[in-house]
Structure 1
Amino acid sequence: MSKKTSPQSRPRRRPRTLRGGESTPATQGRESARAATRGAAQKAGQKAAQKKITPDKDVPTTVLGRFRRFLPTVGIPNIVVVLGIIVVALAGLMFTASPLTWLPAAIAQLWLILNAAPATIDGLEIGVVPLLPALGLVALIARRIRVAVRERVSVADLLVLTACTLVIPVVLTLIAAGMMWDAGRVFDVGAPPLADAVGRTLLLHATALVIGMGGRLWGALLRRYGAPDGLVDAAVVALRILGWLAVAAAVVMVILFIMSWPRQVEVAGVYNSTAAVVAVSILSVLYLPNAVISAVAVLLGSEFHIGAASVSLFAIDLVPLPPLPLLAIIPGTASQWAVILLVAVAGITAYLVGSARLNLIQAVAAGVVAALVALVATELTSGQLAEFGDVGPMRLLTAGLALAWITGVGLVAAGVGKLADRRAPEPEAGVDADPQPDADTEPVDDGDDQVIDGEVIEDADDAVDADGADDADGADDADGADDADGTEGSEGADGDEGDVDTHEDAADAADADDAGEVEGVDDVEEPAESDESADSPESQHHDNDTVITEDAAATADAEDAEGTDVSGGTDGRKPPATD
């Protein structure tokens, strides 16, 4: 190997100037292009870092400012709902030719029903109200919350948002209860049980808050406070299981509706007008979520009660029921094959738990989440129904069965998975024991949610992409203009200065790969120089208050570019050039 091509004997990189110290116009043009590229990259990086980390001017930092920010988030939809209730109440009074003095009571009653609160009419309590309008309200509030916490939110912001989400509807419920109490002195209505009304309102809007925050934000919060990993995944599995059970319950209800068609005809014959039949049919549709929740409880092995009547997979005991098409689907006796539905429940649970490959902690967490969801759902669908008594699924039994099904199947699946891993053959020597993930499997990216200076940032990468900062990397291609000059394309283009040009070609390629350098001169023989940025305060991560800055990301990219040769080397050396 000649001295010219030996990697040990090559000179250190130096500025691209000729021996006489004079630079050519082409060299000056290349240096100007590099300087412009570096300036554009640094400006874009600083702008992205400022948007990603530095608090915005519009982001409040005081309690009053936070209330001003989040109060419209949940206040506007509640106001819109109240205005819609007023319109519906006016239309109902005009349609029924009722006096306008009923308007305050109608507005208050509709608000209470919309929040799943019980109603009192003629001294009779109706504690089981339709859940379909309430689910629409939950979806509306959850959507607004999701938009509010999508970009940047801190723990203090979450506390203020929670207060706004819960306090506003509770105040409106108290006002509605007062209006009902005032109307009860004139009309045959009364104020609902205050504890039940406020409790259900809180439960409904807290559910909207939990749904609106989203899985990523919950994951960031759990990681911030040191919770075990995978709890969000366990909650998602539990919700999927309950969702598939709800689908199975709906299918069973459709089959029962077809089989009970003669009874549906009998129920329609009770009413003397088509309008009454349409009214009770609409009422049955509004009660469909209640019926699905009760059917899921029955599929789990629990019981559903309508006063003295009880319905389960094992036995059905009926009494005279209200003439509703929805109640007419209940068969008179339990079929012998109904117990087979428990096998379907076990199959759905085992399939979803096995697909998720939960560990022992996640299996228990999934069971707890399912039990809590079942408890909330059964609470919202249970209560007094006039003279019939207590109506709804058995709350504690349904929650306990949900916990037992999901936790039991999850623990069995986790144990089988561990046993299979132990019996798996040891990987052969030279074979990678950790195979690469499948192309169809989407890896979990935990970097989207960040905790920055006490702030939980969700989808922080979207802010960078929206600003176009990533496009700054494309500016690196501007260095490719060096090849167009034709001054460094060959080794002997400059006669006796071919050795200098050979090293300058390699330097051009290295600098073209790293447009973020501040200095135009780089020394590949001193790798410690590229590691200085790794020790800077901007790239350090703290345990108690993690800080992830854009400057640290840019430094990491600079380190990768410095330590990687243009030809694929990773030791900071360039491959030997060939004559």
Structure 2
Amino acid sequence: MTVLRPTAHGSVSEPGVAAPPATAAQQVRAALAVALGVIALGYLGSAAVVALVMAGAERAVVSLEAVSAGAAPLWLAAHHVPLTVRGASLGVLPLLPTVAVVLLAARAAGGLARRLRLTRPADALRVVAVMGVAHVVVGGLLAAFVDPPFAAAPATGAVACGLVAALAATAGVARRCGLVTLVRQRFGEGVLAGLRAARIALMCLCAMGALIVALALALSFGSVRAAFADLAPGFGNGSGLVLLCLLYLPNAVVAALSFVAGSGFGLGAVVVSPLRVVGGQEPPFPLLAALPESGSRWWLLCLLLPIAAGVLLGWVCRKADPLPQNRLLVVGVAAAVVAAAALAAAALAGGRLGAVNLRVPAGMLAVALFCWVAAPAAVVAWLAGPRPEPEDEPADLDEAETEDTEGEEEVAEGDQEAVAEDEAAEEDAEEPEAAEPVAEEAVAEQAAPAEALAEEDFVDEEELEEALLEPPEEPEKR
């Protein structure tokens, strides 16, 4: 029978014995391997998308060289590196690949922290630094050697790729490496509750933006279909264009959210907002075919959607703290996080598309969402939450003082009884000492009759001999 034993180098630990924590060098090596794996998976995913688009296009030759040449620009675009195509600026980059890359990096960093049992902020710093540096190097090299007709600035590529990877890795290791606990200790539980509530508000706002996009596409179905027929006739070309529209769908959701908030958006000479609409010539793209040509008064009802998100946020925060002012702090933190997320999303969603500029006013959108969300949330959280208990009346205080006085008197009486019991116990302890002579006299009296009996029962030897020598008496005859 074979007996399994640990190896000499300790790769297999004994049952029930926890593995030792990884050293700093082991953490760096493992983080580097994970970073390279994330880069490779992202590149392969970009190549798969390019190959799928080329396979559906007519008269397109699918080759390894062509797919590799198209995968590098898409990977850079996923990390939001601005590109140029034949000298024309491509600043409006799709957000869906960026979301996929962030989720992949965060998941990989979180899995690394779980496997290595990382629990300290210093461990998180090593993982984030290694992930960021690896993406900086690879992003700078790909931007420098990207194949024409694409081009990118190496410095911009390095900084953008490293920043996206570092932020994603930080989100992945935040909970396991104690960053969440550190935030709680530094800023309190209210800030952490605000961060959790902001996540719900952001999901609600994103759902509202997606609803507006779906309604716009449904109402402009004829224009969208005509755009598909003009740009990509046939099933293969149409499938590739559908995939491209899906990649830009988050950009459309951000623009629709800006429309709902009242700040609106612009594309060249076209301006769209609930208050006014300015028509113009837009590029031939199916998502842009859903833009309206004229406004309507009914669009003002769209402003109720962010108010509804604020009401939901207030309802979520209503039990965050017993005190109303503390609940307002939670609402303020959540609204600030929502505004910051909207600011970043609007900055990433817009950009130049050749001679046309897609404008999503990031600052105006952040301020508008903060106001629309924070005001109703504060009202709901203040009114719907628990109230502190009222203080006792003065009569209750007098009763309490009377009870305390009676209790003190009872305690004083109890102390006097205890003192009397102690004195009685001391007297009882002294009585046995006085009773000792009486006990000795009783013992002496009991011993005296015994000695007298012993003296009466004693017979001398001479008397005994005389009694034995005397003849027995004869019985008298009758």
TM-score with structure 2 setting the length: 0.69
1:158 corresponds to 2:124: yes
SS of residue matched to 1:283: helix
Q: In structure 1, the residue corresponding to 2:141 is in which secondary structure?
A: helix
Tell me, in whole angstroms, the C-alpha distance in 1 between the residues paired with 2:167 and 2:40. Answer: 19
Change in 2 beyond 3 A, CA 1:393/1:355: same
1:391, distance to aligned residue in structure 2 (A): 1.0
Unaligned runs of 5+ in 1: 1-46, 430-579
Q: What TM-score do the two structures reach when normalised by structure 1?
A: 0.57
> In structure 1, how many angstroms separate the alpha carbons of the residues matched to 2:247 and 2:140?
25
Give the Cα–Cα distance (whole angstroms) in 2 for the partners of residues 90 and 265 of structure 1: 25
Q: Deviations over 1:120-170 (max 9, x none)?
A: 111001011212222222221121122233453211111001112222222
Assess if the C-alpha contact under 8 Å between 2:79 and 2:161 holds in 1. Answer: yes
| 2:307 is the alignment partner of 1:346 | yes
Query: Equivalent residues in 2 for 1:563-578 (5 A)?
Result: none
Matched to 2:362, the amino acid is: R
Q: Which secondary structure does the structure 1 equivalent of 2:366 belong to?
A: helix
| Residues 260/90 of structure 1: CA separation in 2 closer, same or farther (3 Å cut) | closer
Residue 78 of structure 1 deviates from its aligned partner by 1.4
The 1:188–1:109 alpha-carbon spacing in structure 2 relative to 1, beyond 3 Å, is same
Question: In 2, distance between residues paired with 1:167 and 1:303?
Answer: 38
Task: Map Cα deviations across residues 475-521 of structure 1 (whole Å, 9 max, x no partner).
Answer: xxxxxxxxxxxxxxxxxxxxxxxxxxxxxxxxxxxxxxxxxxxxxxx
Residue 238 (1) aligns with residue 198 (2)? yes
Q: Which runs of 4+ in 1 moved over 6 A?
A: 90-95, 98-101, 423-427
Matches within 5 A, 1:110-189: 110-150=74-114, 151-180=117-146, 183=147, 187-189=148-150
Give secondary structure in 1 for the equivalent of 2:355.
helix
Match of 2:219 in 1: 259
Looking at structure 1, the residues matched to 382 and 187 of structure 2 have their Cα atoms a distance apart, in angstroms, of 23
SS in 1 for 2:263: coil
8 Å contact from structure 2 (residues 91, 350) kept in 1: yes
Aligned to 1:313: 274
Query: Which letter maps to 1:251?
Result: L
Aligned to 1:383: 351
Report if aligned partners of 1:301, 1:401 keep a CA contact under 8 Å in 2: yes
Distance 1:212 1:252 in 2: 31
Structure index of larger Rg: 2
Structure 1 residue corresponding to 2:161, chosen from 201, 204, 208: 201
1:312-355 residue CA offsets vs partner (Å, 9 max, x unmatched): 11112122112222111222122211111112221221122223
SS in 2 for 1:125: strand
SS of 1:298's equivalent in the other structure is helix
Which is helix-richer, 1 or 2?
2
Distance of 2:232 and 2:42 partners within structure 1: 35
CA spacing shift, 1:297–1:317, aligned 2, 3 Å: same
What pairs up with 1:512-523 in 2 under 5 angstroms?
none
Q: Identity over the aligned pairs, expressed in percent?
A: 25
Q: Any unmatched runs of 5+ in structure 2? A: 1-14, 321-326, 397-478
* 1:516-535 superposed matches below 5 A: none
Matches within 5 A, 1:343-492: 343-357=304-318, 358=320, 359-388=327-356, 390-416=357-383, 421=387
1:221 paired residue number? 182
Amino acid at match of 2:347: E
Number of residue pairs aligned between Structure 1 and Structure 2: 367
Quote how far apart the aligned CAs of 1:289 are: 0.9
Amino acid in structure 2 at the alignment position of 1:110: L
Please state how far the C-alpha of 1:175 moved relative to its aligned partner.
0.7
Structure 2 Cα separation of the partners of residues 335 and 92 of structure 1 = 38
SS of the aligned residue for 2:119 comes to strand
1:91 Cα shift?
7.5
Q: 1:67 aligns with which of 19, 28, 41?
A: 28
Paired residues of 1:105 and 1:179 also in contact (CA < 8 A): no
- Show CA shifts across 1:512-533 (max 9, x none): xxxxxxxxxxxxxxxxxxxxxx
Q: What's the offset of the Cα at 1:424?
A: 7.2
After superposition, the C-alpha distances for 1:55-89 in whole angstroms (9 at most, x for unaligned) are: x42x2233x23202322233312122234445666
**Aligned counterpart, 2:435:** none
Check the 8 A contact 2:220/2:290 in 1, yes or no: yes
Q: CA deviation at 1:304?
A: 1.2
Counterpart residue type for residue 220 of structure 1: T
Q: Distance in 1 between matches of 2:48 and 2:149?
A: 23
What RMSD over aligned residues (CA atoms) do the two structures have, in Å? 3.1
Q: Is the 8 A contact 1:104 1:179 kept in 2?
A: no
In structure 1, C-alpha distance between the alignment counterparts of 2:301 and 2:38, rounded to whole Å: 45
For 1:345 and 1:92, locate their aligned partners in 2 and report how far apart those are by CA, in whole Å.
Answer: 37
Three-state SS of the structure 1 residue aligned to 2:23 is: coil
- Aligned partner letter, 1:229: E
> Residue by residue, what CA displacement relative to the aligned partner does 1:522-554 show, whole Å, maximum 9, x if unpaired?
xxxxxxxxxxxxxxxxxxxxxxxxxxxxxxxxx
Q: Verify: 1:270 aligned to 2:236, yes or no.
A: no
Contact kept in structure 2, 1:120 and 1:192, CA below 8 Å: no
User: 2:263 aligned with 1:302, yes or no?
Assistant: yes
Q: CA deviation at 1:103?
A: 6.3
**Greater relative CO (CA pairs within 8 A, separation 6+):** 1
